[in-house]
Structure 1
Amino acid sequence: MSAIEYKLYENVFIETNLQSVDYDAVILILYPEDIQVPLPRHIQSFIDKIAKVDKHIHKTTTVWNCDYVSGERLVLSPTGKISPYHDARVVREAAYKGMVRAMDAGAKKPLLVVQNVVNFPDGQLVCILGALEALYIPLQTRERDNTKNISWIGLHSEEKLSEQFEKTVRNALALEKSRILARDIAGSDPERMTPVNIVNYVKSSFSGDSNIFIKVIDDSNTINEEYPLLAAVNRAASQIDRHKARVVEIEYRPSDPSRVTQTLLLVGKGVTYDTGGADLKISGKMAGMCRDKSGAAAVAGFLKACSLLKPPHLKVIGVLCLCRNSIGEDSYVPDELLVSKSGKTVRVTNTDAEGRFAMADSLFKMGELAVKELNPHLYTIATLTGHARLCYGNYTAALDNHSARSTNHSSALQFSGSRVGEGFEVSVIRPEDLTVNNGKGKGEDLIQVDMDAKARHHQLAGGFLIKVGGLEDKNVKYTHLDIAGGAGSPPSEPTAVPILTLCHVHKVLM
């Protein structure tokens, strides 16, 4: 099954009656009293009463027998104290925990109370998304047994129908479908999501979308000629058909081209498994490397959001750079001198820095295309460096080139991320992050990575992409997103970042 189907008025319902017989549990997020979020009728007195029995209800998720709600089962999920430093993630986490607790209690038809919280303007959207995220079942589990899905969900905002709330629900369902696609690609194992299997999954996921156009480049000669750095990474895997590199271009075109005001071009790292290559990952560092395709997964997910929500003002081109960094007798190795599509010679210094090679030639091609497009903005999205995780933990590092920095785009991403529950940190590419990539020997324009560098590894990776992509002097807005910290590591499920933020900042939502 390619995606879990949530459809409004089929298995997702806007419910105005908290005592409806159609549900077997009600989930309520408990906000701190100082925020003054009004509770539904009858429930306030019930909570005041049980708070005298157990003050812990404001600290941990609990389940209570309550005559005032559907199913006579009330799940209370507290946010805990909310300080000025908190953003919408506190809502997402409470909704997620509440849904998990409801399922653990045996609920099959949960009803979620979606309050309107002044502190969080997009809080209702984030609340629904947090609950839906808890319902995600990995693709390979669904394919074995698809009977475990909760297929009946209620959402209660108030005791009357609201056009605005219905729009919020429709946005949430479209975004979750997009995130499911991304999680399926990112989280499935290296054999379930080989390059060819990703291609088939993507084609299936977009079948019937009249505004989406897909082009797959899989011919070995074309890969070698047009994507030489990707081809180098691909060499050790190129004799195994299911692991051979593919480049997938997905384009969203709105129905009326005259309304387009911006073109987005996104390049995603899709390394289906990263052994490190000849610079082999050792001491258990290889486990979890099936998540190295999270960037490409996010690009596909964002295109899915566009196909569903149909923003009239955007044209979007996404590129999935799919390959496997294997080790074998044909592995690319340090000391090789390669010629990129941009014409720059690059000395290989560490085969475990394959992600920048996987994206480099597509980035150059998209940069060349960008100058012909209307108001272009170029992105790379990748689980690129462990350094980004060391610097920022589970947050995404956003790095602008000179042109994007003139509009403070990374700051806009950070703001949108705070609104929709995805964390971003603004990082800065400085002159030394560009020059550190310059070749050191004769015949080298660039080196893959400076192995003597002691710091700024995610910044210099951004600098490498700018240089190899021919973007150093080009007046094209470009932002590199290193999602190594934010994408999610096993055993946690993939987060599908930064789909929500991109949809928010580029006004994809209805």
Structure 2
Amino acid sequence: MKIEVEKNSLLNVDAESLVIGIFENIEDSKHLIDEIDAKLDGSINERIEIGDFKGKMGQISTIYTRKKIPAKRILLVGLGKKEDLDYERIRRVSGIVIKKIRDSEVKKFKIWLMGLEKTDLKVEEIARAITEGAILGNYKFYIHKTEKLDEIKLVEEFSVVYNDLIDEIKNGIRSGQIIAEATNFSKDLTNEPANIATPTYIAEQAKKMADELGIKCNIYGEKEIEEMKMGSFLSVARGSNEPCKLVVLDYNPNENLETIVLIGKGITFDTGGISIKPSMGMWEMKQDMAGAAAVIGALKAISQLKSPLHIVGITPLTENTPGGRDPNLPGDIVKSRKGKTIEILHTDAEGRLILIDVLDYANEFKPKVVVDIATLTGACAVALGIYASGLFTTDDDLANKLIEAGEETQERLWRLPLWKDHEKIMESKIADVRNINPNRKEGAGASNAAGFLKHFIGDYRWAHIDIAGTDLESKGKDYTPPGASGVGVRLIVQFLKNWGKKSG
């Protein structure tokens, strides 16, 4: 999508549609209304007086200007109460607007910079929120459609207009566009079916992106992974006929910079293995690589935003199927890269098996912080639903920083327990650890999974994010269409942005 900045006065904007945000307390927007109404013979005030427009959040009302001003239409969009306006609400309003414009088959529009009446909001961040909401809300995944393509409507271009502060607006648009397009890139990877988005395909897409942006990218196959002694990862991979891959994206490799490692679970399709899943809903398991897609998308954004950190993204990629040459069997014992042995009691607890070898491999980069993100447990989805991802860490400061980034992006996190009990319960009688606690009555599946991972971390600060309930948007929201949600990209980028400010 093409996005422009235009310096102009309100009444001189020439557009097919000009979007103007109006607060629910009309007095808070009176200066805008009166300026336009002086040319439109009171059309806006009349609409307000008869109750056709009340400024409620997301309400839209169209006024045709009849050539009294250059803009052909004014779209009044409700911002709700002034005291409730924040960047998330601006994103939501922008997403609502883009869908309204798109459905009217208008390809271009302009939007007057909204929200300046709320003095605690920054111009740059307002412009970023407008941009993110528009690009994310305009997203559609349709590349496999061959029919009715003429019915697919997308907005091609919009402009943010204001009479001042153009540099701040440009900066906000640039960052918003980078982050939103990286999120949509992540969505594309996740929405692809498993017969296309194989480990090889995802590795190739990551390499193509990395080459375009100057990110160092290494892709390792089974032989190299075996040489790295990643026995736990390979125990899952050898259940599939699709070759596994390990992708390592290395941005800003400089020994003088703080290193943060991001790890994303990349199960490109999860049947459950020998412990096979029920067939109903199994098609959603193509999205079991959403963590990997989030990490790849985050690296795409981070490199363009020129983060002052050394960021390494690692994604182990494989299917979990029972049809390969040597699938895991319940009761098998395998050896991890760290040297610990794992009793595999359930082959559908495979995500943790591929993550643990990478958590140990992360030590090679001498990181200060490691964050892994994974669609790991149905238990987390049961606990938190679609409303928040689960956060597990014993580091209070790291937890607070991640939660703050989640609030800023509204990719919210909720911290769940990670106690020594959850590590202890994952110990095995015949191996070092087991991959599940078979006593279902004891519950705490999400925390137990995090406790299992903790057995394999190194000498670094660590957090685990479980996105099992938030990776898929089934119905669609204001700026998140149905399908892959792209969760994690904006969260990680904001976390690193905040961290980079501290480091820079």
TM range (shorter): 0.7 to 0.9
Which residue number in structure 2 is paired with residue 447 of structure 1?
A: 434
Alignment of 1:134-149 (within 5 A): 134-138=137-141, 140-141=143-144, 149=154
The alpha-carbon distance between structure 1 residues 219 and 236, as it changes in their structure 2 partners (threshold 3 A), is: closer
Which residue number in structure 2 is paired with residue 165 of structure 1?
A: 169
The alpha-carbon distance between structure 1 residues 288 and 33, as it changes in their structure 2 partners (threshold 3 A), is: same
What amino acid does structure 2 have at the position aligned with 1:204? K
Kept after mapping to 1: 8 A contact 2:55/2:80: no
C-alpha deviation, 1:123, in angstroms: 4.1
Please tell me whether residue 75 in structure 1 is matched to residue 65 in structure 2: no
Which residue number in structure 2 is paired with residue 434 of structure 1?
A: 423
The alpha-carbon distance between structure 1 residues 214 and 225, as it changes in their structure 2 partners (threshold 3 A), is: closer
Structure 1 CA distance for aligned equivalents of residues 410 and 27 of structure 2: 19
Which residue number in structure 1 is paired with residue 252 of structure 2?
A: 253
Structure 2 CA distance for aligned equivalents of residues 432 and 82 of structure 1: 47
Which residue number in structure 2 is paired with residue 33 of structure 1?
A: 25
Alignment of 1:8-407 (within 5 A): 11-17=2-8, 18=10, 23-33=15-25, 36=28, 40=32, 42-43=35-36, 46-53=43-50, 54-55=52-53, 58=56, 61-67=59-65, 71-80=71-80, 88-115=87-114, 116=116, 117-118=118-119, 122-138=125-141, 140-141=143-144, 149-156=154-161, 158-210=162-214, 212-220=215-223, 222-223=225-226, 226-237=229-240, 239=241, 243-253=242-252, 258=256, 260=257, 262-311=258-307, 313-328=308-323, 330-366=326-362, 368-370=363-365, 372-373=366-367, 376-402=368-394, 404-405=395-396
Note the alpha carbon deviations across 1:399-458, whole angstroms, 9 max, x for none.
3533x32xx22222222222233222122311211111111x23x111101121443221
The alpha-carbon distance between structure 1 residues 82 and 88, as it changes in their structure 2 partners (threshold 3 A), is: same
RMSD of aligned alpha carbons: 3.0
Secondary structure at the counterpart of residue 265 of structure 2: strand
Greater mean deviation of Cα atoms: 349-358 or 72-81: 72-81
Greater mean deviation of Cα atoms: 415-424 or 192-201: 415-424
Kept after mapping to 2: 8 A contact 1:206/1:304: yes
The alpha-carbon distance between structure 1 residues 213 and 480, as it changes in their structure 2 partners (threshold 3 A), is: same
Please tell me whether residue 424 in structure 1 is matched to residue 427 in structure 2: no
Kept after mapping to 2: 8 A contact 1:389/1:395: no
Kept after mapping to 2: 8 A contact 1:411/1:426: no
The alpha-carbon distance between structure 1 residues 486 and 337, as it changes in their structure 2 partners (threshold 3 A), is: same
The runs of 5 or more residues in structure 2 that have no matched partner are 476-481
Note the alpha carbon deviations across 1:362-411, whole angstroms, 9 max, x for none.
11110x225x34xx110111111122222222244353533x32xx2222
Which residue number in structure 1 is paired with residue 479 of structure 2?
A: none
Note the alpha carbon deviations across 1:120-167, whole angstroms, 9 max, x for none.
5544422320111112232635999799543321112x2124221211
Structure 2 CA distance for aligned equivalents of residues 498 and 69 of structure 1: 43
Structure 1 CA distance for aligned equivalents of residues 444 and 492 of structure 2: 25
The runs of 5 or more residues in structure 1 that have no matched partner are 1-5
Structure 1 CA distance for aligned equivalents of residues 201 and 128 of structure 2: 32
What amino acid does structure 2 have at the position aligned with 1:389? A
The alpha-carbon distance between structure 1 residues 364 and 194, as it changes in their structure 2 partners (threshold 3 A), is: same
Query: Could you tell me the percent identity over the aligned residues?
Result: 22
Q: TM-score, normalised by structure 1?
A: 0.85
Secondary structure at the counterpart of residue 483 of structure 2: coil
C-alpha deviation, 1:266, in angstroms: 0.8
C-alpha deviation, 1:79, in angstroms: 4.6
The alpha-carbon distance between structure 1 residues 278 and 78, as it changes in their structure 2 partners (threshold 3 A), is: farther
Q: TM-score, normalised by structure 2?
A: 0.86
The alpha-carbon distance between structure 1 residues 133 and 331, as it changes in their structure 2 partners (threshold 3 A), is: same
Number of residue equivalences: 477
The alpha-carbon distance between structure 1 residues 350 and 218, as it changes in their structure 2 partners (threshold 3 A), is: same
Alignment of 1:408-419 (within 5 A): 408-419=397-408
